[in-house]
Amino acid sequence: MSIFHACDIRGIAGKDLNGIMARRIALAVGAKLTGQRVVVGGDIRLSTPELQRIMIDTLAESGCEVIDIGTVATPVFYYAIKAMEAVGGVMVTASHNPGAYNGFKLVFGDQPVTEEDIKEIARMVENDERVQGQGRIIEKAVISDYIKDTTAKARSTNLKVVVDAGNGATSGIAPALFRAAGYDVIELFCDADGHFPNRPPNPALAENLTALGEKVRQTGARLGVAFDGDGDRAGFVDENGRAIDNDDIIVLLGQYYLEGQQGTIIYDAKCSMVVPEEIVKAGGRAVMARAGHTFSKAAFLREQALFAGEISGHFFFRELGYDDGMFAALKVCEFVDEHGSLAALTDAIPNYLLTPDIRVPYKGNDKEAILAETAQKLAAYQPNLIDGVRIEFADGWGMIRSSVTEPLFTLRFEAKTDERLKEIITTLLQALPEGVREAVLLKLPAGK
């Protein structure tokens, strides 16, 4: 499988992404950014120091002015690019993937990287493109500045909150950030450890928030927040220790940002239809984006939105200009402090019948052909093609899309009644090739 994905570069460290490949990628990035100021940071994975050193030295060799910000969370990296007026940057991280993985998040200018940008880097790597220059390396500590400037955009409160860093890159940063904003912080898994010994680094999965929920109940905290491996995603549990769907978090943050003002809120194509309904009720304009960091950020910037959210746990903010899981947690805590129980707030949001992600593998390079054939068979329903193939009705929807990071199709369905949910599932499945259809049937929730 290629390490060059739609939004970033990612693979198993030492295998797919070894030192030789890292240098070739760094040479390609250096050829693209030569002569420019570039920020480089890295997370706490065991393979990061070697990859980060290769990237820094090679970019300098390619003529870049490299700002080495050390070991940081990805939101700190985004902050540093903005604060230092850098043209681009490289963050060494595999985000929410397991510890064996690593990769590079790339920034080229003000707009998010595109699939074409990643393909260009892949071509440059294949052609062994490089330049020689007289660059330099400047070491710069930025975490304290990030904490100071980020808390200045938040409201101080003494709310009791459990902060679960998952032993990731936010381990030393998130507790300090929350304490700087006045919070009563209870730490959980806040010792950085690239083995991720206590839980997988993906907070979007409820099963990964079990220990956080228990800690919240034990301590009487008002809520708990969990971060992924590099801190650009967040997950939440309420005061009862119950994991909260990020669809509901998007609704709450949308409501918060629409208090006293009008504006656009971005949500991704996998969200419940409750999200746009509640945004409109709150006086906002709801705009759907293709799922994936690059696509949500592009829509966020294009629409000049107040806020954007993905059910994966990415949250983008106008006052920052980028996504930040830690800032998202501060804003959710503010909303709870002002409006009461997180459990009550989320229980007040309507719930429809929404399946979890149904993930099935595909083989080879036939994903586009399968999606095109599916869309053609569903042409009578005028499918939405913003992200795979999505059929929409007044009382529900169904979709199939390809993952941007893995050789998988992801399917999801939602309806207002169980009978209607079954009808929508059947409609979409009948349009799929037999092999894909059979794989989906094996993974459908019982009774569907």
Which segments of 87-157 are extended strands (E)? Answer: 88-92, 101-108, 136-139
Checking 139-142 for CB contacts under 8 A at 24+ apart, the result is: 139/68, 139/70, 140/67, 140/68, 140/69, 140/80, 140/84, 141/69, 141/70, 142/69, 142/72, 142/76, 142/79, 142/80, 142/83
Structure tokens at 30: 């250096």
The residues annotated as belonging to the active site are: 95
Among candidates 334, 316, 295, 436, which has minimal Cα distance to 377?
436
Start-to-end Cα distance in the chain: 32
> CA 186, 192, 193, 199 torsion: positive or negative?
positive
| E strand or H helix that includes residue 150 | helix 143-151
Which segments of 211-305 are extended strands (E)? Answer: 223-227, 234-237, 243-244, 264-268, 285-289
Cβ 291 vs Cβ 268: under 8 Å? yes
Radius of gyration, alpha carbons of the chain: 22
